[in-house]
Amino acid sequence: MARRERRPDGGGWRAWRRRPGAGPRGRLIALLAVLTAAVTALHRFVPNAGPRLGSLVENFLPWTGALVLVLALCALARRARVALVVLLLPAVVWAVLFGPLLLPDPPVEKRTLRVAQHNVADDNPDPAGTARTLLAADADLIALEELVEPALGVYRKELAARYPYRAVHGTVGLWSRYPITAHRSLDIRPRGVDASWQRALRAVVRTPEGETAVYVAHLPSVRIGAGGLASARRDESAARLGALLSAEELRRVVVAGDLNATVDDRGIAPLTSRLAVPDRGFALSFPEPFPVARIDQVLAGGGSVPRVSTLPSTGSDHRPLLALITWDAPDRR
């Protein structure tokens, strides 16, 4: 009887364990893939009490796609075939949630409104250059935040010829090609903030499609620290603005401003539950020069926002946005 040669690697279970990607690291990649898919798809179930982890995750939710790519590279390096298969799960979840933002722009319809939105920054060293960038966008409406003197005077001068109608209250303002028939300041202050804090307005603009209510708002800033996301004041202001929107009588509504939140952040659900968010475009706006999130927003009621894009950088720490709004139907005459 021939003697059976002994395999140098020991054969059997020990040999299988030595295969690349079959050990603990391959299993760890697969576990992280499943966790990424769960967080992306079920982010609303991430608790928001205390450190507001839910809101923190939601502000960076699109970046789970980058995490999938990193895990895929690790799986390839480890030759972890099973992990690569498991990674299809978060990839599909991401594609369903965020893939539409990458689709080509839809055809432009006739009933449209072009809205530029920009937090110009109160320390902007070049307000005149910022105004020229906004003029080049050829928007119908321009919403600005962090307006302070003497820069406010510069914006008034530079924008006046093309935008003869304007409304400024506190540190927010609206410039329009179309007549502004009424405007007023809105009180969205969080508790404990004095009356000098004026960061929201409502204006009625007579557009070719009829009267449109335009809200310009700058919600309180948030901070990320050891205690998590400090967003309570922003959420309170968002709730107050949402209450005003619920009482709005005009059918067409535009909300433009620095909301200090992405549209996925449940903190501004009082707004996003009532208004349409952009269908196309990531348009990351903050911070300059490497934006990681779009916290500047243009939302619409009575219509949709087919696309949003960023404009060239200015002297601000935010990038300006240009959004296209299409209305559902014209007013009946």
Domain ranges of the chain: 12-102, 112-327
Q: Are strands 321-327 and 172-176 parallel, antiparallel or unpaired?
A: unpaired
Both tokens of 99, joined, read 């893939």
- The pLDDT assigned to 203 comes to 98
CATH number of 112-327: 3.60.10.10
Query: CA of 227: how far to CAs of 10, 53, 231, in Å?
Result: 52, 10, 11
SS3 category, 142:
strand
Task: Tell me the pLDDT of the chain (333 aa) as tens digits.
Answer: 555 555 555 455 454 445 555 566 689 999 999 999 999 999 999 998 888 999 999 999 999 999 999 999 999 998 999 999 999 999 999 999 999 999 887 776 667 899 999 999 999 999 999 999 999 999 999 999 999 999 999 999 999 999 999 999 999 999 999 999 999 999 999 999 998 999 999 999 999 999 999 999 999 999 888 778 889 999 999 999 999 999 999 999 999 999 999 999 999 999 999 999 999 999 999 999 999 999 999 999 999 999 999 999 999 999 999 999 999 876 544
Q: Is 108 exposed, middle or buried (0-12, 13-18, 19+ CB in 10 A)?
A: exposed
At 104, give phi and psi (nearest 5°). -60, 155
Rounded to 5°, the CA angle 62-113-132 comes to 80
What secondary structure does DSSP assign to 265-277, as a single string?
-GGGHHHHTTSBP
- The pLDDT assigned to 233 comes to 96
List the 253-258 sheet strands across, edge first. Answer: 180-185, 200-207, 210-218, 253-258, 296-301
Q: What is the pTM of this model?
A: 0.89
Q: CB of 282 within 8 A of CB of 272?
A: no
Q: CB of 261 within 8 A of CB of 272?
A: no
What secondary structure does DSSP assign to 234-290, as a single string?
HHHHHHHHHHHHHT---S-EEEEEE-SS-TT-GGGHHHHTTSBPBSS-----BSTTS
